[in-house]
Amino acid sequence: MRFDATELTIEELELQAEVREYLDKRLTPGSYPLGLGMSGAVDPAFSRDLGSRGWLGMSLPKEYGGGGRSAVDRLVVVEELLARGAPVGYHWIGDRQSGPSIAANGTEEQKRYFLPGIASGEFSFSIGMSEPDSGSDLASVCTRAERVDGGWKVNGTKIWTTGAFHATHILALLRTSADKHNGLTQLIVDRDSEGLTVSPIPFIDGSEDFCEVSFQDVFVPDSRRLGDVGAGWGQNTGELALERGGVDRWMSLMPVLENWAANQAAQGGPAALADLGSIAARCWAFRGMSLSIARMVDAGRSPVTEAALIKEMATRFEQDCVATVARHLGRAPDLASDDPYESLLARAVLVAPSWSIRGGTNEILRTVIVKGLNR
């Protein structure tokens, strides 16, 4: 495993400046609800605005409505969005992983239908992975897809399915045979399919991003099967590399950190400044690692082990940041505070324990890392 040192090129820095100028005008302070990284608010109009500027589906092929640009270009845009707590909830999953997965594994018909909708911000995707009785063992999922005339009949339940309530499509990992790993297949399910019920799950901070998704004799045409029958495990693993190694794994608290650094840290004396220095140094380290992974993706590599390493380290770092800023506040932050940054910190205190669970628990990630190093 190797993270090569790299910096942004002149062209990439120009893109960064363009995005910053746009966001200065589009997301003025107080005009939108601050979000915790990829858990930003759902705003379809904002997503369509980004799509119209070519800032969604950036790495998707041009012939399917994408930008034909690099993973690094996307990192530059995403970094600026997350730094402001932008409302990225509607397009996030489709842009980050469903689009690239369809581009890599989909049929010509699927690419021509789904990819333009993802790149324009019209389609919103959710990922149906976890199940009530599967724990962290994703290969044990048992929601079943059985062959029927013209397609598949799906029965079972998914849980913790982020964004399913507002999604237009759910990319579901389903069991098509008894073989643990080779018996899994991915289907693209329309959100309004008959027999599909989506129930939001209230979270501790009052949000309802997580959902339970129930399939009761849901028919999915075979034309919506993504990849070969039994290829779902490998495809899903490839998606997780896109999900785990990005800047979203260490930038969840960034609006709060920037506000604290600019307005409060100096007032806390030497101890607060020392903590700020430590946080800044680790942010730069994680940023360099994420940028290196994006370069690997652009070079055609699949940095699964490197992405798992970043996710394991970075989500623990995010939790440390929450504890540090809350400690220097000197009291419990108020969720109902008129100060949007204090309110966001209060949300973070409540939800931060989940950050090292979503996308793979630390224990699972350490297994992935060890196996990768052994290879």
Domain coordinates of the chain in residue numbers?
10-123, 126-230, 246-374
Residue listed under structure tokens 């820095």: 13
Q: Dump pLDDT digits (tens) for 199-216.
A: 999 989 888 889 999 999
Tell me the CATH number for domain 126-230. Answer: 2.40.110.10
Burial degree of 51 (CB within 10 A; 0-12, 13-18, 19+): buried
What is d(CA 318, CA 326) in angstroms, rounded to the nearest whole number? 12
Q: Is it the case that residue 239 has pLDDT exceeding 90?
A: no
Q: Is it the case that residue 237 has pLDDT exceeding 80?
A: no
pLDDT of residue 265: 85
The residue with greater pLDDT, 237 or 201, is 201
Nearest to 349 by CA among 317, 326, 315: 326
Q: Dump pLDDT digits (tens) for 247-288.
A: 999 999 999 999 999 998 888 899 999 999 999 999 999 999
The residue with greater pLDDT, 360 or 343, is 343
Partnered with residue 317 across adjacent β-strands are none
In CATH, the architecture of 246-374 is Up-down Bundle (1.20)
Neighbour count for residue 193 (Cβ, 10 Å) = 15
Topology agreement, domain 10-123 and domain 126-230: no
DSSP 40: P
> What percentage of the chain reaches a pLDDT higher than 70?
98
pLDDT of residue 303: 87
In CATH, the architecture of 10-123 is Orthogonal Bundle (1.10)
Backbone dihedral region for residue 173 (phi beyond 0: left; psi -120 to 50: alpha; all else: beta): beta
Q: Dump pLDDT digits (tens) for 126-165.
A: 999 999 987 667 888 999 999 999 999 999 999 999 999 9
Let me know: does 326 contact 345? Beta carbons within 8 Å.
yes
Lowest mean pLDDT among 95-99, 319-323, 361-365: 361-365
Q: Is it the case that residue 358 has pLDDT exceeding 90?
A: no
Q: Is it the case that residue 240 has pLDDT exceeding 70?
A: no
Lowest mean pLDDT among 189-203, 302-316, 319-333, 335-349: 302-316
Q: Dump pLDDT digits (tens) for 55-80.
A: 999 999 999 999 999 999 999 999 99
